[in-house]
Structure 1
Amino acid sequence: MADRPVVWIPRPVHTDALDMLRERTEVRLGYGDDETTFDEVSGRVGAILLRTVRVDGDMMRRAPALRIVARHGVGVDTVDLETARELGITVTTTPTANTQSVAEHTIALLLAVRRGIGMVVRGDGAARAAIHGRELAGSTLGLVGCGRIASRVAHIARHGFDMRVLGHDPMLTAEQIVAAGAEPRTLEALLAESEVVSLHVPLTDATRGLIGLRELLTMPPGGVVLNTSRGGTLDEHALLSVLRQGHLAGAGLDVTTVEPLPADHPLRGDPSVVITPHVGAQTAEALRRMATEAATRILEHLG
């Protein structure tokens, strides 16, 4: 095993990926009975299969053999990309593996908010009398970001629920937004026309706080906002304010600025808000696809 490249995996991944890697590499796990810390393998590690642990510049500089960090997912906000570029370390993602699962979760959150399911789950005694749900058919969904997941959400919304879909994405042309299944709009126009606004953007300097108080107040009264992309793109203090004002009817959040959201956070006590703990991609199918695709990228890169 000494001549095989070392792959360090700090969090549990699907066993199919482990089997793939063990055929050609030395796999060291950062969890379980045979837990191995990064310090124990830093001198030999050639690849990291990364879920939620952060890989910072200090770790990279202490790993002279490191050639690739393969993300189990689509976000790279837990990787020091600047240092990776400086050291020639490749960073990969699995951009298509969780598309269906996150799209389905987005729709699940929308249904939960629109039909008052959050109140039912809380066990409110007067829930039945208090719930006056809204149908999705005929309403307008605005997608902020029109990538793979948003395109799948658009398909489900249009063909499954007879919704009108608008889209805004400064990285795409109008033709590309149409191809994603949405009518192109400026951000302001999309917000003004959409009863439901769903975020599908990465967290960058340009998108941090993208949807704040002004944007939320631009939405029609009684609207709903969803975030299954990245915490920090939606200003949660502004969201709480517009909910308390009664301007919006509710929100569905799978991601928050701080994860997990503290138990005493006021959003947790709002019956119009449905919060899930960043589990949009956590289906059996998506977890297997993400793990095996990340493993494939490692094997391709290590040769």
Structure 2
Amino acid sequence: MKILANDGIDAVGKQLLEAAGFTVDTQHIAQEELADKLKSYDAITVRSATKVRKELIDACPNLKLIGRGGVGMDNIDVDYARSKGITVVNTPAASSLSVAELVFAHLFTGVRFLYDSNRKMPVEGNTAFAKLKKAYGAGVELRGKTLGIIGFGRIGHETARVALGLGMNVLVHDLFAATASISLTLSGGIQVEVPVHAASLDELLSQSDFISLHVPYKDRPLIGKEEFDKMKDGAAIVNAARGGVVDEEALLDALNSGKLAFAGLDVFENEPTPREEILKHPRISLTPHIGAATNEAQERIGVELANLIIADLKK
């Protein structure tokens, strides 16, 4: 059987598939060419770039499996594929820690003004050092502050673990969360259960110093003008979930008015061409959708995806 890893796969995962007798092609095929060329393959693996919609599924009746390396499957028509007898799998646990750590990279960048300092120091550092030192001299610590986590799945749990380890207070909101506690592993392998407060969305918005989003996109922004108005003055928000979860126009207004201190964005409404006002805003920390892009996460994703494929196609 032939597998097209159209958005790549970690070398260890590729080796596992090849050892199981599969042919794995990692050469990327452009979206507009997939309907024709995918007919030569039995399975396809994707990340967020490649879309597997109804039209592509109909054009490739040979497909037996679609694998998503990562969590969200909004780029795949999952229900339709399964209705056609195609197996659809993903790797929801493999990248959780990497995404959570990126959230805190944005938070640390924000509270110490690194998003602006890294832009201005190269051009003004040798002529306006004292001025920049004064401008960036009012940072705050994360310890003791409240982090609101919207979406309490695997990534939300990992984000909460990091926050608790830093000494932050944690509020969580999730439509499906029945309990709100975190299992922490301490030095020596000791495990403890730590309760976190499950809050309504309004409570979380009004009481959090920082907000981190971990929800799928559902046809409209979750955070818009009304939600920004409910936040604390000087709060901040990080979106490492999906573009469109935050209304970017409302975000710009909240930043420009001073309602928000800063924002951290790993995802954007118009990927892969984010709007210029977002990219050039002096109080937004930016990364190009790299939440899961660590060596460790990519290896875990590749291994988990390979094992899922082998288990299904070899049965």
TM-score by length of 1: 0.90
Provide the C-alpha distance between the structure 2 equivalents of 1:232 and 1:128, rounded to a whole number of angstroms: 35
Q: Say whether 1:249 aligns with 2:254.
A: no
- Alignment identity in percent? 36
1:81 Cα deviation from its structure 2 partner: 1.9
Partner of residue 260, structure 1: 272
Q: Work out which of the residue numbers 28, 50, 56 in structure 2 matches 1:53.
A: 50
1:288 Cα deviation from its structure 2 partner: 1.0
Partner of residue 14, structure 2: 18
Partner of residue 107, structure 1: 104
Deviation track 1:123-171 (CA, whole Å, cap 9, x = no partner) reads 2534322112111111111000111111111111112x21110011011
Provide the C-alpha distance between the structure 1 equivalents of 2:217 and 2:60, rounded to a whole number of angstroms: 27
Q: Say whether 1:135 aligns with 2:141.
A: yes
The aligned runs of 1:203-242 (5 Å cut-off) are 203-205=217-219, 208-242=220-254
What runs of 5+ residues in structure 2 fail to find an aligned partner? 125-130, 184-194
Look up the equivalent residue of 2:292 and give its one-letter code.
A
Provide the C-alpha distance between the structure 1 equivalents of 2:257 and 2:81, rounded to a whole number of angstroms: 45
Provide the C-alpha distance between the structure 1 equivalents of 2:17 and 2:115, rounded to a whole number of angstroms: 42
Deviation track 1:208-238 (CA, whole Å, cap 9, x = no partner) reads 3111111111111010011111111111110
Instruction: Report how many aligned residue pairs link the two structures.
Output: 289
1:11 Cα deviation from its structure 2 partner: 2.2
Provide the C-alpha distance between the structure 1 equivalents of 2:309 and 2:297, rounded to a whole number of angstroms: 18
Provide the C-alpha distance between the structure 2 equivalents of 1:28 and 1:194, rounded to a whole number of angstroms: 46
Provide the C-alpha distance between the structure 2 equivalents of 1:38 and 1:250, rounded to a whole number of angstroms: 42
Deviation track 1:190-219 (CA, whole Å, cap 9, x = no partner) reads 1000010110111224xx311111111111
Partner of residue 178, structure 1: 181
Partner of residue 150, structure 1: 156
Distance change (3 Å), C-alpha of 1:37 and 1:238: closer
Partner of residue 186, structure 2: none
Deviates more, 1:251-260 or 1:44-53: 44-53
1:94 Cα deviation from its structure 2 partner: 0.4
Distance change (3 Å), C-alpha of 1:6 and 1:193: same
1:30 Cα deviation from its structure 2 partner: 2.9
Provide the C-alpha distance between the structure 2 equivalents of 1:260 and 1:8, rounded to a whole number of angstroms: 22
What runs of 5+ residues in structure 1 fail to find an aligned partner? none
TM-score by length of 2: 0.87
Q: Say whether 1:287 aligns with 2:263.
A: no
1:37 Cα deviation from its structure 2 partner: 5.8
1:26 Cα deviation from its structure 2 partner: 2.1
